[in-house]
Amino acid sequence: MSAEKAQALVLRARPFGETSAIITLLTREGGKVRGLAKGAWRPKSKFDAALDLLSICQVLVLHRQSGNLDLFIEAFLEHRFRVGPHEASFAAGLYIAELLDSVTVDADPQPQLFDLATQAIRLLSAPRPGQSHSQRSMQSPSFVAALVIHTELGVLHQLGQLPSLHHCAECQKPLHGRRISFGMLAGGGLCSHCRRGKRSVVSVSDKAIDSLRQLAKSFDKSVWESPSKAPLGELRAIMNTLFANMLGYRLKTSHWLATTLTPLREKQR
Ligand SMILES: [Zn+2]
């Protein structure tokens, strides 16, 4: 048995017995780890809030032989997710956690994916009282919608599955026109010739493709450009269909996230 220290993001937490919890962590050093935190939900737990959902923490993991859950021995809080006045940011945080849980496997370290996820979680967390106005405006539903899409594209980039946004996914011809065919299973944009006979092809606006191009940048930076006047409702529908096709199911939190972003869609009509 060996104990390892890791930086971690809490993706899932469910009760185990009276006061313990089974926690799923995405760690920077060791990839996804599922383990038992004994007494985590006691009122005065030694873990405090470090193993709460969406917390970023330093954790000491005791790896056990296969068939046994790993044990979390110690955890120190680095960043606590603060739920603000906008439901959309909280929904987005949980959506990103579920997405990361769905696209990762145990013990496969992907530090860039970890950095991308923790960067998004920090931005979605409400600012502390006294923080500047610009940080507060980051909580607006349109910022949240754009940040989620930026993060999703970053996840696809890390998995080597970023859809083709500039050229036809099949023949590499540049994409152009007011409406562009987008193959959910074919890897992105398709020219009129290559789209023939393909399944799961949707027609998307040039504005949507252009916004996706802008959002598919600067994955390694905390500062990125949110495109102005992006058709966020259309983009949300594209990303939901893309991940549903990739995973074979819809993420449980996707409906809630869409609901929290609905006022935004109506405003854009
Ligand atoms: Zn083509």
Q: In whole angstroms, what separates CA 122 from the centre of its chain?
A: 12
Q: How far is the CA of 180 from the centre of ligand 1 (A)?
A: 12
Query: What number is the average pLDDT over the span 160-184?
Result: 96
d(CA 168, ligand 1 centre) in Å: 5
**Do 60 and 114 fall within a single domain?**
no
Residue 126: the pLDDT is: 83
147 CA distance to ligand 1 middle (Å): 30
- From the number of C-beta atoms within 10 Å of its C-beta (0-12, 13-18, 19+), residue 158 rates as buried
198 alpha carbon – ligand 1 mean position (Å): 12
Task: Based on the fold, state whether residues 48 and 91 are members of the same structural domain.
Answer: no
Q: Among candidates 149, 156, 163, 104, which has minimal Cα distance to 239? A: 149
> How far apart are the CA of 215 and the centre of ligand 1, in A?
23
User: What DSSP letter does each residue of 95-110 carry, written as one string?
Assistant: HHHHHHHHH--BT---
- Residues near ion ligand 1 (CB < 5 Å) are 168, 170-171, 173, 191, 194
pLDDT of residue 132: 62
| Cα of 171 from ligand 1 centre, angstroms | 4
Please give the distance, rounded to the nearest whole angstrom, from the Cα atom of residue 189 to the centre of ligand 1. 8
Question: Which segments of 125-228 does DSSP mark as H helices, in order?
Answer: 133-137, 141-158, 206-215
CA 175 to ligand 1 centroid distance, Å: 9
Same domain (yes/no): 246, 119: yes
Q: How far is the CA of 173 from the centre of ligand 1 (A)?
A: 6
Q: Per residue in 117-171, pLDDT tens? A: 999 999 999 887 766 656 556 678 889 999 999 999 999 999 999 999 999 999 9
Task: Using the predicted structure, report yes or no on whether residue 10 has a pLDDT greater than 50.
Answer: yes
Summarised one tens digit per residue, pLDDT across range 57-99 is: 999 999 988 778 899 999 999 999 999 888 999 999 999 999 9
Number of structural domains found in the chain? 2
* CA 200 to ligand 1 centroid distance, Å: 16
- Sequence letter at residue 43: P
Residue 182 alpha carbon to ligand 1 centre in Å: 11
Q: Report which DSSP code applies to 231.
A: -
* pLDDT score for 269: 46
Looking at residue 43, what is its pLDDT?
Answer: 86
Which of 19, 53, 79 is where one domain is finished? 79
* Domain co-membership, 114 together with 69: no
- Residue 143 in tokens: 């910022």
C-alpha 76 – ligand 1 centre gap (Å):
52
Same domain, 18 and 62: yes
Find the 202 Cα to ligand 1 centroid distance in Å. 15
- Could you report how far apart the first and last alpha carbons of the chain are, in Å? 58
> Higher pLDDT residue, 56 or 142?
56
Of 39, 62, 79, the last residue of a domain is 79
Residues 6+ apart with CB under 8 A from 56: 7, 8, 9, 10, 77, 78, 79, 118, 121, 122
Ligand 1 mean position, distance from CA 176 (Å): 11
Determine the distance separating the centroid of ligand 1 and the alpha carbon of 160, expressed in angstroms: 20
Establish if 204 belongs to a structural domain. no
Q: Are residues 227 and 261 in the same domain?
A: yes
> In angstroms, what CA-CA distances link 20 with 9, 74, 89, 258?
18, 14, 28, 33
| Three-state SS at 11 | strand
CA distance readout (Å), 49 to 10, 39, 44, 76: 11, 12, 10, 8
Cα distances (angstroms) measured from residue 133 to each of 127, 136, 242: 9, 5, 34
Residue 46 lies in a domain: yes
For 41-50, 188-197, 231-240, which range has the lowest pLDDT when averaged over its residues?
41-50
For the chain, the helix, strand and coil percentages under 3-state DSSP, each to the nearest 5: 35, 25, 40
Tell me which amino acid residue 170 is.
E
CA pair distance 9, 17, nearest whole angstrom: 23
Number of Cβ within a 10 Å radius of residue 223: 5
Cα(152) to ligand 1 centroid in Å equals: 25
Judge if 220 and 115 occupy the same domain: yes
